[in-house]
């Protein structure tokens, strides 16, 4: 059963919908009727901050940790 007038519903900070409130059995619910405004999630980068595309390693790679070097060994 439909209850009341259409509502503006915002999910997260991305998209705003027009929703129809109602009941299904003994539960309240909404039915999405229309997308009012679609907002896309965008990452903005502050100046001076490294971007996600250019990672800066903070520790040596696992294959660089205490691995023996075979170049110095002389085998006869």
Q: Is the pLDDT of residue 62 over 60?
A: no
CA atoms within 13 A on the CB side of 9: 16
Q: Is the pLDDT of residue 27 over 60?
A: yes
* Residue 72 β-bridge partners: none
CB 38 within 8 A of CB 44: no
User: Confidence class of residue 48 from pLDDT cuts 50, 70 and 90?
Assistant: low
Percent of the chain with pLDDT over 70: 47
Alpha-carbon gap, residue 6 to 76, rounded angstroms? 86
**Highest mean pLDDT: which range of 3-17, 20-34, 46-60:** 20-34
Alpha-carbon gap, residue 30 to 10, rounded angstroms? 12
CB 29 within 8 A of CB 15: no
């Amino acid at each position: 059963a439909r209850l009341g007038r259409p509502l503006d519903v915002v999910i997260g900070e991305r998209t705003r919908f027009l929703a129809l409130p109602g009941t299904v059995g003994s539960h309240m619910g909404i039915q999405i009727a229309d997308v009012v405004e679609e907002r896309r999630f965008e990452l903005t980068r502050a100046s001076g901050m490294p971007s996600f595309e250019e990672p800066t390693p903070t520790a040596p790679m696992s294959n660089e940790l205490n691995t023996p070097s075979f170049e110095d060994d002389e085998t006869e």
